[in-house]
Structure 1
Amino acid sequence: MPNLGLPRGQLLIFLLQLTSLSVLQVYGIGINYSRDDFPADFVFGSGTSAYQVEGAPFEDGKTPSTWDIFTHDGYVNNGETGDIACDGYHKYKEDVKLMADTGLEAYRFSISWTRLIPNGRGPINPKGLQFYNNLINELITWGIQPHVTLFHGDLPQSLEDEYGGWLDKKILKDFVVYADACFREFGDRVMHWTTFNEINMLPMLGYDAGMMPPRRCSSFYGMNCTQGALDEPYRVAHNTLLAHASAAKLYKQKYKPVQHGFIGLNVLAFWFSPYTITTEDLLATQRANDFYVGWFVNPLVKGDYPDVIKKNAGKKIPSFTKTESLRLKGSFDFLGVNHYASGYVKDQTINPAVETRDLMADMAGLTHVLEYFKDVYGNPPVYIHENGLRTVRNGSMSEELNDAARVKYMRGFIGSVLDALRNGANTKGYFTWSFLDVFELLGGYDSAYGLHYVDLNDKDLKRYPKSSATWYSSFLKKRGIQSVGQGKDSVSELFHSHL
């Protein structure tokens, strides 16, 4: 908790005003719940993505994606790649059995565009088609809902090379053809489609900061990139939104009447609180929300970008035509939200500064994110697609398996989802990130988020359940009441350690 220059008593009052929760709720003390406290149709699951779990990057007809090239060029953790990852391409049956044993009700995964349609366009790859059919069928056999993401950052490198990928509107046609193939081949069994994972991070990290492929930068925030321009993040955001709207229109007109599924879009959402109660920090906080979330959700709900973004970006941001605006507005059945942490925002002349808060405050943050979507965007159906705690792999299996901090994190955040539900938020599901210790896109194999440990020193990459997997399994199988605050922390200890 930062020092805001307030006496301790006033600081506590300020905290309560920010959270609109009682002290006990802020710190998760004495809140008990079970699976039965959630609606019967509320779904609990876990997830991965294609590049992070499958491996086999050049096997059975698959061609390189931008992530294959990016990692092979040495940009992640001194040259680590997803060439093997968790070898999910070969071990999917074992993994689905593990999901069933854990009690997962749903599994969220992405399709590799270049595994299904090599080079980004042209005929479907029979081997790729067979793999995803087998995976989906295996999930359904075990009673696990498949929730499928079409694009999780791994663009066909051939399209990047040919016309610049997401920078060119040519990508719209290729993406819709790819989406059409997925809907046609898998839509009889897949009821939940997400067009883009963290659509807001592609322009920010790929075209502004240069931390992800295609490693382009704006002049303000770039990581020593040799290519890029100030307008590129806005052009990419524009094209991805139009690609989503076109794919959603296709699905709703051609497939939804027969398949009866749902289509949506995913964003990464922090919960931002003002660093101080000054007008400047309050405005900066709203500006942060608009740039992180409103940039993409406003067009889906209101048909246009937030005014503050249009004002700040000026000529750099494209405008929607009337037809595009109408196509965007309402082009989703649900919104997916990835949420990991919260932060404070302090006004600066260039961009909002974010300071990470403590874990207990973060737990309350997810409640606020869900209530923000309820209050600002008309309470659309929302799935928490990713929520998880990063730990550092240290080589000690015993320490990795005893992930008590992750158990505490999950207890708190699932409790915060329940709080939001009880406050009227239209939340439909919760997925942990991640089911296995996958190849992390920013951290390689140094970072771990998984419910299950993957032994990278074992040639068979054997999986081992962590304490978090055991806890989640117990919760999902309705084995007793879960207490958010259970553990050794006392009320006094929490007050002194976090205030």
Structure 2
Amino acid sequence: MALLLLFFILLLSALPRDAAALTRRDFPGGFIFGAGTSAYQVEGAAAEDGRKPSIWDTFTHQGSNIRNVLVKAGYSPDKSTGDVAADQYHHYKDDVKLMHEMGLDAYRFSIAWPRLIPDGRGKINPKGLEYYNNLIDELILHGIQPHVTIYHYDFPQSLQDEYNGLLSPRFIDDYTAYANTCFKSFGDRVKHWVTVNEPNIETISGFDDGTLPPRRCSYPFGVNCTGGNSSTEPYIAAHHLLLAHASAVSLYRDTYKVTQKGHIGITLLGLWYEPATNTSQDAAAATRMNDFHIGWFMYPLVYGDYPPVMRSRVGARMPRLTVEQSKKVSGSFDFIGFNHYPDNRARADKSAFNLKQRDYYADAAVTVDPITDIQEGYVEPPCALGKLLEHLKLKYGNPPVMIYENGYGDIPKTPSKIDYDDDYRSEFLQNYLEVLYLSIRNGSDVRGYFVWSFLDVFEVLYGNVRRFGLCGVDMNSERRTRYARNSARWYSGFLKGGELRPVSPSWKAYAAA
């Protein structure tokens, strides 16, 4: 940890004297700048044209989100769902025009499994196929690369009911067949594929603490769940996601890559854990947490097995990779996507590890204390991104990386208010771009950067209350009217050759602290 901190301080000293001189031309040739969304969060039309429910439809209609946290913080409870969201299903042409005007190189979106194959397997929905063909064609017509995530949380409810979803190895075959449909239908135009989104958090939130669907957990690690076992199920679900990913990559490389000439990878949540104090115990706890959080997937993807610290602490509850599975998993990526948000603090907690019934965080033997300040105007320091990239370079062979999500979400006291003034978001993004530039200059193999999010979307925990969009959406209007915020204009200016404004000194002081 001390070496990483020293690296970052030295890196800061390499900043150009005139910070405003940094432009997109300083990034490597072919570097991709974009923005993103995901299907359930932006499409709407949840019950139209043959689409059937996903586990997210079920979840949000049960009223499950982070409303208690919002109420405690003084905000009005949110009862939104993804039924309409930003209604991109009906407004995709207007949205692509906005992307083009902004100057985006690429748009990251996901395909809704229950829209394309409503029952999860079997018959393809012609209306769903038509929609994604139209969206992809519209993007290409405007010179925008489609970066497509095949599975982004929205597992078909029918398969969840049939065999408990990710807990069954049957998921692997059904997912591979679905991925095959995507490759066959869209691969002539899509050159960047992501197999699954954030498997390292879907498993924890869905099967450990039960805060996300399918809401499985066990006491005392989660409450009000539909069943489950927090000490075993997260590892089983993650194992099946890893094998499904490797299966799809193998299929793509064997059947489609030569003719379609695309690239395929996986996207992980890239939180970075720092010690809560300067003690060696907390430093070791932060290292363990990074191994559990990032290494859980990176270690098998690079080395063909789960991290040794997970093997030793989880023991017999950790699934085993066979020799054949290990060969298939190892190297099963052309790039790794990372969704990066604030850093977290880790504190050693031996009592958690000694619990008879252990969950994921107890296995890591830490008490996790995320930075959860949701007040408007709070900007997290971006140094954690540099530390994450340096970690990937040193421990995992410097894989090609796409930063597929990075953004700032505010929670205004009046969520329905149309607000153009979001200079705090522009400041947040320019700070991260400076860190990204420095990391690339120091040898990190980063190929692209995508702002989350292009539009205001239905946020997975906060509904319509928390807004990440470069472009705002009036969620109270029937037409879901779009409007460009100041940050959209700032990003557009940068993409069209403008210079970054001088960066505020606050995060530099934080890095040196």
Question: Counterpart in 1 of 2:203?
Answer: 203
Residue 409 of structure 1 deviates from its aligned partner by 0.2
C-alpha distance in 2, partners of 1:79/1:462?
20
Between the aligned residues of both structures, percent identity stands at 47
Residue correspondence of structure 1 range 211-250 to structure 2 within 5 A: 211-229=211-229, 230-250=231-251
Secondary structure at the counterpart of residue 132 of structure 1: helix
C-alpha distance in 2, partners of 1:40/1:48?
25
Most deviating of 14-23 and 262-271: 14-23
TM-score by length of 1: 0.91
Cα gap change, 1:168/1:360 in structure 2, threshold over 3 Å: closer, same or farther? same
Cα gap change, 1:49/1:367 in structure 2, threshold over 3 Å: closer, same or farther? same
Secondary structure at the counterpart of residue 482 of structure 1: coil
Question: Counterpart in 2 of 1:270?
Answer: 271
Question: Counterpart in 2 of 1:483?
Answer: 501
Q: Could you tell me which runs of 5 or more consecutive residues in structure 2 were left unpaired when the two chains were aligned.
A: 68-77, 353-364
**1:415, 1:484 within 8 Å by CA — same for their partners in 2?**
no
Cα gap change, 1:191/1:15 in structure 2, threshold over 3 Å: closer, same or farther? closer
Secondary structure at the counterpart of residue 257 of structure 1: helix
Deviations 1:171-209 (Å, cap 9, x if unpaired)?
111000000000000000000000111110111000001
Question: Counterpart in 2 of 1:428?
Answer: 447
Secondary structure at the counterpart of residue 381 of structure 2: helix
C-alpha distance in 1, partners of 2:53/2:63?
15
Residue 276 of structure 1 deviates from its aligned partner by 3.3
C-alpha distance in 2, partners of 1:170/1:49?
25
Matched, 1:356 2:374: no
**1:115, 1:125 within 8 Å by CA — same for their partners in 2?**
yes
Residue correspondence of structure 1 range 359-438 to structure 2 within 5 A: 362-395=381-414, 400-438=419-457
C-alpha distance in 2, partners of 1:404/1:494?
19
C-alpha distance in 2, partners of 1:270/1:29?
30
Question: Counterpart in 1 of 2:317?
Answer: 316
Question: Counterpart in 2 of 1:99?
Answer: 99
Question: Counterpart in 2 of 1:145?
Answer: 145
Question: Counterpart in 1 of 2:302?
Answer: 301
Secondary structure at the counterpart of residue 331 of structure 2: coil
C-alpha distance in 2, partners of 1:399/1:494?
33
Cα gap change, 1:360/1:494 in structure 2, threshold over 3 Å: closer, same or farther? farther
**1:118, 1:125 within 8 Å by CA — same for their partners in 2?**
yes
C-alpha distance in 2, partners of 1:426/1:269?
16
Residue 279 of structure 1 deviates from its aligned partner by 2.5
Q: Could you tell me which runs of 5 or more consecutive residues in structure 1 were left unpaired when the two chains were aligned.
A: 1-12
C-alpha distance in 1, partners of 2:232/2:64?
24
User: In the alignment, residue 416 of structure 1 is paired with which amino acid?
Assistant: V
C-alpha distance in 1, partners of 2:11/2:116?
50
TM-score by length of 2: 0.89
Question: Counterpart in 1 of 2:156?
Answer: 156
C-alpha distance in 2, partners of 1:364/1:188?
39
Residue 79 of structure 1 deviates from its aligned partner by 3.5
Secondary structure at the counterpart of residue 382 of structure 2: helix
Question: Counterpart in 2 of 1:4?
Answer: none
Question: Counterpart in 1 of 2:284?
Answer: 283
User: In the alignment, residue 379 of structure 1 is paired with which amino acid?
Assistant: N
Deviations 1:111-147 (Å, cap 9, x if unpaired)?
0001001110111111000000000000000000000
Residue 270 of structure 1 deviates from its aligned partner by 1.5
C-alpha distance in 1, partners of 2:54/2:60?
10
Cα gap change, 1:123/1:15 in structure 2, threshold over 3 Å: closer, same or farther? closer
Secondary structure at the counterpart of residue 391 of structure 1: coil
C-alpha distance in 1, partners of 2:22/2:111?
35
User: In the alignment, residue 46 of structure 2 is paired with which amino acid?
Assistant: P
Secondary structure at the counterpart of residue 280 of structure 1: helix
User: In the alignment, residue 246 of structure 1 is paired with which amino acid?
Assistant: S
Deviations 1:94-115 (Å, cap 9, x if unpaired)?
0000000111000000000010
Cα gap change, 1:376/1:31 in structure 2, threshold over 3 Å: closer, same or farther? farther
Deviations 1:296-320 (Å, cap 9, x if unpaired)?
1111100000011111111111101
Please tell me the root mean square deviation across aligned C-alpha atoms, in Å.
2.5
Question: Counterpart in 2 of 1:69?
Answer: 58
C-alpha distance in 1, partners of 2:185/2:480?
31
The aligned length equals 482
C-alpha distance in 2, partners of 1:99/1:302?
39
Secondary structure at the counterpart of residue 199 of structure 2: coil
User: In the alignment, residue 112 of structure 2 is paired with which amino acid?
Assistant: S
Residue 362 of structure 1 deviates from its aligned partner by 2.7
